[in-house]
Amino acid sequence: MSKKLILGVDVGASGIKGALVNINTGEMVTDRFRVPTPSPATPKNMAKAFSQIVEHFDYQGPVGCGFPAIIKKNVAKSASNIDKSWIGVNISEVFGKAADCNVYVTNDADAAGVAEMNFGLGKNKKGIVVLITIGTGLGSAMFFDGKLIPNTEFGHFYLKNQSKVAEAFAADSVRKKKDLSWEEFGKRFNEYLETLERITSPNLIILGGGSSKKFDLFKKKIKIETEVVPAQLRNEAGIIGAAAYGFQQAKKMVTS
Ligand code: BGC
């Protein structure tokens, strides 16, 4: 198969990051380029940041984009860590118009999960695998025999004895805000995983996002029965998965 390079963009609450990805091997072939997420993170402001990334790579072609919301047919159906005015907006249209390209959008954690399942630790893993991204929020991707069940939003269930949703208790932004030690954070995260385990009965839990790099600092506190491992692709999974998604969708458009 010839080497196919696709631009993958990972939109996050604090930064919008892009890189060119070889979708045959799942490798990033450029450094990642990051633009801070504008404040307020409105469609207009974010479209500008998005087009800066496309311009930086002087890229023409389909773009795959991971976005931190429930996504149905490229439309945002929620907005927890971005401006509420995104709800109901067709992201492909807004970003595509600004950057003059075709943009295919999927949930950011789903994108990271797809990358990890195809090119990382999830490869050939059967049964239920759940990937949790730990960042400003908690993102989730769930797979059964390698197939994605999209938009699971496991950062948004309530924990026993807590009056807040899980991501308001155990995301990395909470650790920073409350200045929690890694041990304290690990304890909270274990509480989160206990509920996740009860709800999903997974065979494997993979941790992605920025804090997965620090897994060694809190793994002692993780006491659930299910195997929990940090992602192999670390923080790059979001970009790689977005590119893979963009490629798949663009191919569908050509063949259908
Ligand atoms: C959002 C998810 C997203 C996650 C990680 C959550 O607040 O609801 O859609 O995947 O943050 O960015």
Nearest CA owner, ligand 1 atom 9: 69
- Is 119 domain-assigned? no
Position 140 in a domain: yes
Q: Ligand 1 pocket check: which of 72, 91, 153, 154 to mutate, most ligand atoms within 8 Å of Cβ?
A: 153
Best of 67, 83, 86, 107 for a ligand 1 pocket test (most atoms within 8 Å of beta carbon):
107
The DSSP call for residue 220 is G
Find tokens 């991501």 and name the residue: 167
Is the same domain home to 149 and 241? no
Q: Which residues of 86-119 are buried (b: 16+ CB within 10 A; e: fewer)?
A: beebebbebbbebbebbbbbbbbbbbbbbbbbbb
For residues 227 and 242, membership in a common domain is answered with no
Q: What are phi and psi of 217, to 5 degrees?
A: -80, -20
Question: Of the residues 67, 108, 164, which should be mutated to test ligand 1's pocket, given the most ligand atoms within 8 Å of the CB?
Answer: 108
In a domain, residue 175? The reply is yes
- pLDDT of 82 above 60: yes
- Burial group, residue 216, by CB count within 10 angstroms (0-12, 13-18, 19+): exposed
**pLDDT, tens digit, 9 for 90 and up, residues 29-45:** 999 999 999 999 999 99
One domain for residues 210 and 243: no
Residues 44, 136 share a domain: no
Whether 92 has a pLDDT exceeding 80, the answer reads: yes
Q: What's the number of domains the chain is made of? A: 2
Per the domain annotation, does 19 fall within a domain? yes
pLDDT at site 162: 87
Residue 98 falls inside a structural domain:
yes
Shortest-distance atom of ligand 1 to CA 81: 7
Same domain, 135 and 185: yes
Ligand 1 cavity residues, CB under 6 Å: 68-70, 78, 80-81, 107-109, 133, 135, 137, 139, 153, 155, 167
Query: E strands of 145-203, at which residues?
Result: 147-149
Using the CB atoms, write b or e for 182-202: b if 16+ within 10 Å. beebbbbbbbbbbbbbeebeb
Q: Is residue 23 part of a domain?
A: yes
Residue 247 sits in the same domain as residue 225: no
Which domain, by its residues, includes 196? 124-231
Work out the percent of the chain whose per-residue pLDDT is above 70.
98
Q: Cα of 222 to ligand 1 centre, how many Å?
A: 22
Q: What is the pLDDT of residues 1-38, one digit of tens each?
A: 456 899 999 999 999 999 999 999 999 999 999 999 99
Q: Is residue 198 part of a domain?
A: yes
Q: What is the pLDDT of residue 256?
A: 52
The chain-wide mean pLDDT, for the chain, equals 95
SS3 label, residue 165? strand
Same domain as 94, residue 151: no
User: Is residue 237 pLDDT above 70, yes or no?
Assistant: yes
The reply to whether 116 falls in a domain is no
- Give the CATH number, domain containing residue 51: 3.30.420.40
Reported confidence tier of residue 105, pLDDT bands at 50, 70, 90:
very high
The Cα–Cα gap between 31 and 33 comes to: 6
